Amino acid sequence: MGKKKGNAADLLPSKKEKKGFGQYVLGFFLLLYTLFCGLPILLVFIAAFTDEKAISQNGFSFFPEKWSMAGINSVLRYGRQLLTSYGVTIFVTVVGTLIGLLIMSMFAYAISRPEFKLAKFLSVFLLIPMLFNGGQLSGYIIFTSYYHLKDSLLLLILPLCVSTMNVIILRTYIVNSIPSELMEAAKIDGAGEYRTFFQITLPLMKPSLAAVGFMMATAYWNDWQNAMLYITSDNKKPLQLLLVNIQKSIEFLLNNSNVPASARAAMGGTIPQYSSTMATVLVVIGPIMIVYPFFQKYFVKGLTVGSVKG
């Protein structure tokens, strides 16, 4: 591949083709696959605005008998918790992504300098975690029993903060797309290492930062596993954990037929119902779907950059 850098967004220059019958057949199949991908998401929207009774009697449907705002309204019933969880998720996503981008690009810059002898060792140090890792269990024990970080937001941020692949993408971008003459010129003009990096290199890394940043932000936004493992207090619960908890309380009710009626009544406020559950899903996945189209071109580029190693 190497030099032929393409952008999937603008694809091939027009091939002067006839828009023949074959094209319409092809278009039909592509449309089918698009529906396959899009309809389930559309269902979330529809179910979130469907009347609860319509679902429990006739099941989920793309053409509900009765619409209702009750689902969305009952999401607001979570009120404070939803707000808190949004806050936690946004905080973790923003802080994690920014810190990750900053420290990874500094590392990538350092190991890309040919005159820096320690770079070899650091590259190997970076690579080993990709080949071999301690696994979830020993990570869990170390983080909770030795670092005592149970129920700390640090465990939502740090594990996703640095990834070998992302550092490689950034390093590749520095090596391939930023002329080293620029850095040398800056030094001749008397700029120190830090200044060279922050004023020359970092601004030029924008496309790769956008690509990596968006991927990181998505990973943070969607992370349920670390939250489920480590977070216990309500005021630190991210959005994904809310979803997991809804699922758990459904399970609890389903699996315990001997839950007394009074207890069920007491749980009345939290018994998750179909439309309100879907409304919650909508609230959780909504922001990513709104933001994503703006970043599409960047991560397409980023993927391409990442696949071309320097």
Binding to another protein (CB under 8 A) within 174-213 occurs at 192-194, 197
Contact flag: residue 232 with another protein (CB under 8 A) = no
Contact indicator for 241, 151 with CB cutoff of 8 Å: no
Q: Coil, strand or helix: which one is 219?
A: helix
Q: How far is CA 289 from CA 34, 99, 216, 218, 303, in A?
A: 16, 24, 15, 10, 19
Out of 21, 80, 131, 181, name the contact with another protein by CB under 8 A.
131
Handedness of CA 44, 46, 49, 54 (dihedral sign): negative
Calpha distance 251→246 (Å, rounded)? 9
Contact flag: residue 136 with another protein (CB under 8 A) = yes
Contact flag: residue 309 with another protein (CB under 8 A) = yes
Scanning 67-75, 78-86, 175-183, 217-225 for contacts with another protein by CB under 8 A, the matching segment is: 217-225
Report, in Å, the least distance between residue 310 CB and another protein.
Answer: 9
Report, in Å, the least distance between residue 62 CB and another protein.
Answer: 8
Q: Site map for another protein, 267-306, x if CB under 8 A? A: -------x--xx--x--xx--xx--xx--x---x--xx--
Calpha distance 177→158 (Å, rounded)? 29
Out of 21, 33, 257, 262, name the contact with another protein by CB under 8 A.
33
Residue type at 280?
Answer: T
Residue with Cβ nearer another protein (43 or 200): 43
Scanning 181-189, 202-210, 244-252, 262-270 for contacts with another protein by CB under 8 A, the matching segment is: 244-252
Residue with Cβ nearer another protein (2 or 179): 2
Q: Among 140, 136, 188, 130, which residue's Cα sits nearest to residue 163?
A: 130
Binding residues for another protein restricted to 63-92, rule: CB under 8 A: none
Contact indicator for 240, 223 with CB cutoff of 8 Å: yes
Report, in Å, the least distance between residue 76 CB and another protein.
Answer: 19
Out of 19, 179, 233, 261, name the contact with another protein by CB under 8 A.
19
Calpha distance 177→204 (Å, rounded)? 9
- Phi/psi for 3 (5° steps) reads -80, -25
Binding residues for another protein restricted to 102-121, rule: CB under 8 A: 103-104, 106-107, 109-111, 113, 115-119
Scanning 79-87, 173-181, 205-213, 241-249 for contacts with another protein by CB under 8 A, the matching segment is: 241-249
Side-chain-side CA neighbours of 290 within 13 Å: the count stands at: 6
Out of 49, 86, 91, 140, name the contact with another protein by CB under 8 A.
140
75 burial type by CB count under 10 A (0-12 exposed, 13-18 middle, 19+ buried): buried
